[in-house]
Amino acid sequence: MAFDKEIERRKTFAIISHPDAGKTTLTEKFLLFGGQIQTAGAVKSNKIKKTATSDFMEIEKQRGISVATSVMSFEYKGKLVNILDTPGHKDFAEDTYRTLTAVDSVILVIDCVKGVEEQTERLMEVCRMRRTPVIVFINKMDRDGKDPFDLLDELEAKLNIHVHPLSWPINGGSDFKGVYLLHDQSLNLFESNKTKLAEDVVKVQGLEDARIDELVGDKNARKLREDAELIEGVYGDLDVKNYLQADVAPVFFGSALNNFGIQELLDTFIDIAPVPMPRPAGERVVDPHEQKFSGFIFKIHANLDPKHRDRIAFLRVCSGRFERNKPYEHTRLHKPLRFSNPYTFLAQSKEVIDYAYPGDVVGLYDTGNFKIGDTLTEGEDLQFKGIPSFSPEIFKELINLDPMKSKQLEKGIQQLTDEGLASLFIQEPGSRKFVGTVGELQFEVLQYRLEHEYNAKCRFEARNVHKACWMSGDEAKVKEFMKFRMNNIAWDKDNHPVFLAETAFVLRMAQENNPDITFHTTSEFKV
């Protein structure tokens, strides 16, 4: 059946890593192999003045980091690959966590020099929690880094997952000779090629091939054979079932910047990565092969094109076929919506589509109907689970520097906080706006985007807030508490009251003195 074939040919995954491990560069090289671009842009290269395709916000181009998730699609060997390039910076981890709800598998990029870093551990915790299959790419092998065996041990110890190398490096740093492909017994010799596809890669068959000694030298060939024998004895053959159950992570070595080791990684991913999987909703598990459409919003981005002030909601299709101009039920608002211009993406480039299938990510033009986590169906009252919500760690008050631009500032902060970039709390009287984030960089991005996209100048002043807590319990008791602590009460974007506790001690005392009220550090209890 054509519908089932469309599902089976889709592979939807995210690339995740610690900042500066080479994640966006790897994305570029995948697009090269997919034929979507002819020359990749090195994010921080002085020689190559082109910026990375997946970094489309001006602040990303200036800083050389990704601060928003980019969505890209390309065809490769008969498969339609949907790739989500996520922010690596820890201040934008929330966007990455949400993105992980929309993918079926993950490629984790590790810097061979730095090894496993703190942000990498957090990301893997989310993957393990959802049992998301992971392939590891150890990058920058052309730099002097850690011993490959030490890296494997570190991966297993810190990420709590078994690893299985499918390629093996011959030396590293300035003496990097290439990788031996353990799964098909061939040798790829290293050739630096930063902007185009590698051509005429030399291959030899089998470890005993005498050409290996000629190509890499007797000493290197001897060590390679010893390493390969040890790996064979420890790891054996890869069981793909264990990978799909997220118990084992295949490992590849290479250099994304130099376009080396990418094709083996991509070819293996195409062969073994899962097709669209069933998704848990609050009411039941939704199978992708069901005939009726369902999907959920995992990201909202205002001003994808600053010239047109547009707002795009990113929809992951979970079941059935999405059709252009067909009405679908917004299950939170209980109203039908239809979309005349649904898009697929290559970073900021958009293409209108007529149909989309499970696994696809579709951009929907949004006039303000959507919030992150919203579900669309053909009428069934469903709510997909697992869109995480995090308590802010830093709170600042938004100060308007130009009263003549109040409307622009109001619109801008509403739209940008709808994206999930930050949390917004409004305190009366006076409509004081408190913004909560995970890290300082988010304030910088907010300020930059408000000025350059909405022509609204502002500053952020630090405020003494420890936690924002939503309240549930005896309604009369909650109202009484709010009246008593009026100066600490604000309202979230959904007009729910929130207690802004100045310190951990104040929060603890509020909990002890009000046993009939439950103080929540997430608003998810309302869902």
* Cα 421 to Cα 411: distance, rounded to the nearest angstrom: 15
CA angle (84 as vertex; 374, 391 as ends), nearest 5: 50
Task: Note the pLDDT of residue 386.
Answer: 61
Q: What is the pTM of this model?
A: 0.76
**Contact by Cβ (8 Å): 23, 99:** no
Which of the four CATH numbers 3.30.70.3280, 3.40.50.720, 3.40.50.11540, 3.40.50.2030 does domain 394-526 have? 3.30.70.3280
Q: What are phi and psi of 340, to 5 degrees?
A: -85, -20
Topology match between the domains 2-272 and 394-526: no
Over residues 440-448, the mean pLDDT reads 85
Instruction: List 468's β-bridge partners, or say none.
Output: 500
DSSP string, 370-392: --TT-EEESS----B--------
Residue scoring higher pLDDT (52 or 421): 421
Model pLDDT for residues 424-440, shown as the tens digit of each residue: 999 988 889 999 887 78
CATH superfamily ID and name for 2-272: P-loop containing nucleotide triphosphate hydrolases (3.40.50.300)
Task: Note the pLDDT of residue 98.
Answer: 74
- Maximal C-alpha separation, the chain: 84
Map 71-140 to HEC letters. EEEEEECCEEEEEEECCCCHHHHHHHHHHHHHCCEEEEEEECCCECCHHHHHHHHHHHHHCCCEEEEEEC
Task: Note the pLDDT of residue 59.
Answer: 44
Task: Note the pLDDT of residue 63.
Answer: 46
Please tell me the least confidently modeled range out of 9-18, 48-57, 264-273: 48-57
- For residue 164, is pLDDT > 60? yes
pLDDT classification of 324: cutoffs 50, 70, 90: very high
Model pLDDT for residues 23-35, shown as the tens digit of each residue: 778 888 888 887 7
Residue 523 is given by DSSP the state: G
Q: Which two tokens stand for residue 185?
A: 């017994």
Which single residue is written with the structure tokens 């997220």?
246
Q: Which two tokens stand for residue 449?
A: 């985007």
Model pLDDT for residues 350-404, shown as the tens digit of each residue: 688 899 999 999 989 888 788 888 999 999 999 887 665 566 778 999 999 998 9
Quote the mean pLDDT of the chain: 83
- For residue 525, is pLDDT > 80? no
Distances (CA, A) of 61 to 67, 125, 349: 10, 29, 16
- For residue 119, is pLDDT > 80? no
Q: Are strands 248-253 and 162-165 parallel, antiparallel or unpaired?
A: parallel
Task: Note the pLDDT of residue 250.
Answer: 96
* Cα 425 to Cα 497: distance, rounded to the nearest angstrom: 9
- For residue 237, is pLDDT > 60? yes
| Stated length of the chain | 527
* Cα 85 to Cα 70: distance, rounded to the nearest angstrom: 5
SS3 label, residue 262: helix
pLDDT classification of 6: cutoffs 50, 70, 90: very high
* Cα 9 to Cα 510: distance, rounded to the nearest angstrom: 54
Residue scoring higher pLDDT (384 or 510): 510
SS3 label, residue 57: coil
**Contact by Cβ (8 Å): 272, 297:** no
Over residues 434-460, the mean pLDDT reads 87
Task: Note the pLDDT of residue 395.
Answer: 93
Please tell me the least confidently modeled range out of 9-18, 258-267, 390-399: 390-399
pLDDT classification of 458: cutoffs 50, 70, 90: very high
Task: Note the pLDDT of residue 180.
Answer: 86
Residue scoring higher pLDDT (449 or 309): 449
Is 3.40.50.300 the CATH number for 279-377? yes
pLDDT classification of 199: cutoffs 50, 70, 90: very low
Domain boundary assignment for the chain? 2-272, 279-377, 394-526
Instruction: List 75's β-bridge partners, or say none.
Output: 80
- Return the top range by mean pLDDT from 175-184, 305-314, 454-463: 454-463
Looking at the chain, the whole-number percentage of residues with pLDDT higher than 70 is 83
